[in-house]
Amino acid sequence: MTIPHDAAARAERDPRDIKPAEIFKELAKGVLGQERALEFVSVSVYKHATGKVPGNLLLIGNSGTGKTTIMNNIQRLYNEVPEYRDLRAMTIINANLLVDSDRMEFRPDRLLQAVEQRARSVIGHDPTAEELRAAMERATICVDEIDKMSSVVAGKPNPIGVVLQQGLLTLMEGENVAYRTHVLEGGEEKQRTLDISTRGMMFICGGAFEGLYDQVYYRVTNPGSGEKLKSTAIRTADGQVRIEARFTLADFFRIEDLFAYGMVPQFIARFDNVVILNDLTMEVLKEILLHSYDSPFIRSKKFFEIMNIQLEIEDLAAALIAEQAEKQTRTGARALRGIFGRIINRIEFDPDGSNALKPNPDGGRTLTVTAAMVRRALGL
C-alpha cells in the first residue's frame, strides 16, 4: 500500500479492492510478532471499511504485547490510505470512563464525546450536522482495559462491570443514540440533537485479562484435565537452543474461560472474534528494539543525530537486551525501555565521556553499543 506522492494522480479504489492481505502488510510494519492476531485485525478492518458486516474484536494480551500498538497502527492505516478517509474518526478510551460508578450507569455520551472530538479534528472545519453525524457513524471505537470491567473483581461481585458490559453490548448490537451537540447551520452555531446510529461503527476492546492466564493454566495442568503443555525450542542470545514446556494461553483458551472470568456471555457474543496476542519472544523483542517506530533505540538514535553522532548497536548487544526483556514476562516490550535506558542514559548525558565514540570520515562520529557495554551496564 505505497502512497503515491501525488495522491490525486492515482484513481481511488473501491474499499472492496483493498484486500485483508494488503491491510495485513501495512499493519505488520508497525506491529511485530503478532501475525495471527493481525490476520484477524485485517479481516475486521476490511469488514468495517466495506460496511456490510460488523468486525468487532476482543484483543487479549499481556501488558506490552502490542494491544495499543495495534490500535495505533489501525489509525495510521486510516490516515495514510486515502480510500479510508471516511473512517478516520477513531478513538481509544478507557473502559472505566464509560460508567458513572456513583450512579451505576453507563455513559454512552462520554464515548460519543470522544468520537465527536476526533471527528471534528478529522473534518478540519466547523461541521454541519450531516458531516458530523456521517463521520461519527463510521468511527472505530477502541475500549481499553475492558478486563477491569469484569463482573467479578478479586473474588467479589463488581456490579459496575455488568453495567458497562451491558451498555456496551447494546451499542455494539446497533443502537440509535440521541446526542446533543452544537453544529454549524446557516453560518451559525446551533444546539442540535443528532440521532447517531452505532450500526456502522467498529468496536475493538482490549485487556490484559491477567487472572485468565492462571485460571486457564490451572484448568489445563489439573491432573485429569486431559490436556498437555506443548514443548517448544527456545533460543538464547548466544545462539543455544533448549526445549521448554511452555504454557501459551492461545493453545488452550476456550470462550467459556471468559465467562468464568466474569465476562457477560451476551457481551462476548457481540464480538466477531476473540484474539489472543502472543507473548513476545526474544527474537521479536530484538526486532522491536531495532526497528519499531517508537523503540528506545530508535528514539536514542534520533537524539544522538542532534549531536551529529550516529548510533549503532551490535547484533549480540541487541540480543542480550532482548533476552533480559523477555525475562520480565509481565511487561512485554515495555521492558526494553528501562533496560536500554540503563545502558544509554549515562552516554546520552555525556557522550564524550564514554570511550565508545569513533570519528567518521565525513566529520561526524559513530557510537556503537557493544555486547561488552551491555554486560557491564546490566551486570551480566
Ligand X SMILES: Nc1ncnc2c1ncn2[C@@H]1O[C@H](COP(=O)(O)OP(=O)(O)O)[C@@H](O)[C@H]1O
Cβ closer to ligand X: 181 or 292? 292
Cell numbers for 100, please give them. Answer: 458513572
Closest approach of Cβ 329 to ligand X, in Å?
13
**How many CB atoms neighbour CB 306 within 10 A?**
7
Residues 59/140, Cβ–Cβ less than 8 Å = no
Could you tell me the smallest distance in angstroms from the CB atom of residue 96 to ligand X? 16
Site string for Mg ion, 19-58 (x = CB under 5 A): ----------------------------------------
Complex with ligand X: residue 268 or 288, whichever CB lies closer: 288
Sorted by sequence, the CB contacts under 8 Å of residue 336 that are 6+ apart come out as: 285, 288, 289, 295, 296, 321, 322, 325
Nearer to ligand X, 28 or 184 (CB): 28
Residue with smaller CB distance to Mg ion, 95 or 172: 95
Q: Considering only residues 231-250, where is the footprint of ligand X by CB under 6 A? A: none
Long-range contacts made by residues 371-374, C-beta under 8 angstroms, separation at least 24?
A: 371/314, 371/316, 371/317, 371/320, 373/317, 373/343, 374/317, 374/320, 374/321, 374/343
Q: Decide: is 158 part of the binding site for ligand X (CB under 6 A).
A: no
Tell me if 67 contacts ligand X by CB under 6 A: yes
Mode of pairing for the β-strands spanning 365-369 and 309-313: parallel
Among Mg ion, ligand X, none, what does residue 296 contact (CB within 5–8 Å per kind)?
Answer: none
Q: What is the residue whose three cell numbers read 452555531?
A: 189
> From the list ligand X, Mg ion, none, which binds 60 (C-beta under 5 to 8 Å, kind-based)?
none
Among 33, 54, 108, 127, the residue binding ligand X under the rule CB under 6 A is 33
**Closest approach of Mg ion to the CB of residue 92, in Å:** 9
C-alpha cell at position 31: 506491529
Residues 247-266 that bind ligand X (CB under 6 A): none
Residue 66 lies near ligand X (rule: CB under 6 A): yes
Phi/psi at 212 (5° precision) = -60, -35
32 binds ligand X (CB under 6 A): yes
Task: Please identify which residue in 15, 20, 68, 290 interacts with Mg ion, judged by CB under 5 A.
Answer: 68
Residue 60 Cβ vs Mg ion, minimum distance, rounded to whole Å: 12
Rounded CA-CA distance 285/120 in Å is: 37
Burial code of 245-271, b = ≥16 C-beta within 10 A, e = fewer?
Answer: eeeebeebbeeebbeebbbbeebbebb
Question: Per the structure block, which three cell numbers stand in for 218?
Answer: 490451572
- 273 is a site residue for Mg ion (CB under 5 A): no
The position carrying cell 495505533 is 72
Least gap, CB of 294 to ligand X (angstroms): 5
Residue among 119, 144, 121, 147 at smallest CA distance from 133 = 119
- What one-letter code names the amino acid at 76? R
Q: What residues from 84 to 113 belong to the interface with ligand X (CB under 6 A)?
A: none
Indicate which single residue of 65, 165, 181, 324 sits in contact with ligand X (rule: CB under 6 A). Answer: 65
Check binding of 162 to ligand X (CB under 6 A).
no
Shortest Cβ 67–Mg ion spacing (Å): 5
Positions in the binding site for ligand X (CB under 6 A): 31-34, 61, 63-69, 288, 292, 294, 332-334
